[in-house]
Amino acid sequence: MQEITKESIDKILSAYPRDRRHSLAMMQDMQHHFNYIPEQGMKALAEYLDCPLSSLYSMATFYRALSLKPKGKHIIKLCDGTACHIRGSVNLITGIKRELDISPGETSGDGLFSLETVNCLGSCALAPVMVIDGVYYGKVTLEKLPEILNQYRELSEGGAEA
């Protein structure tokens, strides 16, 4: 995650004209840069566009891909669609809760992991499916879960990016 500074926010905003139609794109860029949209980013955006902060917040809370809370370094997306649900995704949610002490929508205390449940990842034949930082894991079992999560812990400890 990048440090949040006025300069880094201004750099994102100045890449766009002062036009409200670009507000979603600016929020997406902040999300990508900081791994969430910081409060100071929202305030700077409202000032930059000369629009009410409340209208930006309504947009940011409407889109599920945007987050107003810091997310972990590694984003776990766990499918809970029909095929995955039938094949045990609920057990995996329980396993992640046991391993990381987080529920869907939460971030681990060490800031390494965030858990999101999604309706479909388009890989039903591999159910249950989990994606971490864009890497797909199919036919995940409770037994495989600690090994998968430890890979990301080790990456973080080694200072390498996932």
- Flag whether 84 is marked binding: yes
- Flag whether 124 is marked binding: yes
DSSP secondary structure letters along 80-133 = -SHHHHHTTHHHHHHHHHHHHS--TT-B-TTSSEEEEEES--S-GGG-S-EEET
**What is the separation of C-alpha 56 from the centre of its chain, rounded to a whole number of angstroms?**
19
Judge contact between 60 and 51, C-beta under 8 A.
no
DSSP state of 140: -
Q: How would you classify the pairing of strands 113-118 and 74-79? A: parallel
65 burial (CB, 10 Å; 0-12 / 13-18 / 19+) is exposed
The radius of gyration of the chain's CA atoms, rounded to the nearest angstrom, is 18
- Flag whether 51 is marked binding: no
Q: Which residue numbers belong to the known binding site?
A: 79, 84, 120, 124
Binding residues for [2Fe-2S] cluster, as ranges, are 79, 84, 120, 124
